[in-house]
Amino acid sequence: MKISLMINEKEYVTHVKPEGMLIDVLRHLGFTSVKRGCDSSSCGLCTVWVDGLPILSCGYLALRALGKNITTIEGVQEEAKKFGTFLAEEGGDQCGFCNPGFIMNVIALKRQNKKFTDEEIKTYLMGNLCRCTGYASQMRAIQKYLEV
Ligand code: FES
Ligand code: FES
């Protein structure tokens, strides 16, 4: 069926099957920053926002996003660039495959504009897996980013 979706404040018209997942629609439309890892809601790679809240697009029906605002990392470039600087400085930027989903969650955390303990940060990001960094460098980058 033909649907229109708002992605990064722009309207896109596309075709989708009733059982089609949002990740497939986004990647088909060229948002290849949305990465596919596990495809079973376990790795966090496919994280995007729907109405400002992080969701796993591999487990989210595209039809559920009708009438909502979808945001990918392309829609938050300035914030992503800023956090990316901290990530690079702390050595938390290696193969980079996990970055788009991870960064979407970190920016969502930052936008809550609150103080978080290390444990709260870890709990919030426990769904974002990374095969390269061991998480310590990412954690240092997040702590510094949340302070500015
Ligand atoms: S690809 Fe969606 S959570 Fe892994
Ligand atoms: S930097 Fe390679 S998976 Fe995270």
Which residues have a Cβ under 8 Å from the Cβ of 85 and sit 6 or more positions away? Answer: none
What pLDDT, on a 0 to 100 scale, did the predictor assign at position 137? Answer: 96
- For residue 95 and ligand 2, the question of a CB distance below 6 A is answered with yes
pLDDT tens-digit map of 79-115: 999 999 999 999 998 999 999 999 999 999 999 999 9
Residues at CB less than 6 angstroms from ligand 1: 36-39, 41-46, 56, 58
How long a stretch of residues is the chain? 148
As a whole number, the mean pLDDT across the chain is 97
Q: State how far the Cα of 35 lies from the Cα of 58, in Å rounded to an integer.
A: 9
Question: Which secondary structure element, helix H or strand E, spans residue 106, and what is its range?
Answer: helix 99-111
pLDDT at 63 over 90: yes
Share of the chain above pLDDT 90, in %: 99
Residue 146 CB–ligand 2 contact under 6 Å: no
The answer, yes or no, to whether residue 57 has pLDDT greater than 90, is yes
* 3-state secondary structure at position 4: strand
Residue partners of 105: CB distance under 8 A and separation at least 6:
44, 47, 54, 124, 125, 127, 128
132 within ligand 2 shell (Cβ under 6 A)? yes
**Does position 29 have pLDDT exceeding 90, yes or no?**
yes
Query: Cα of 42 to ligand 1 centre, how many Å?
Result: 5
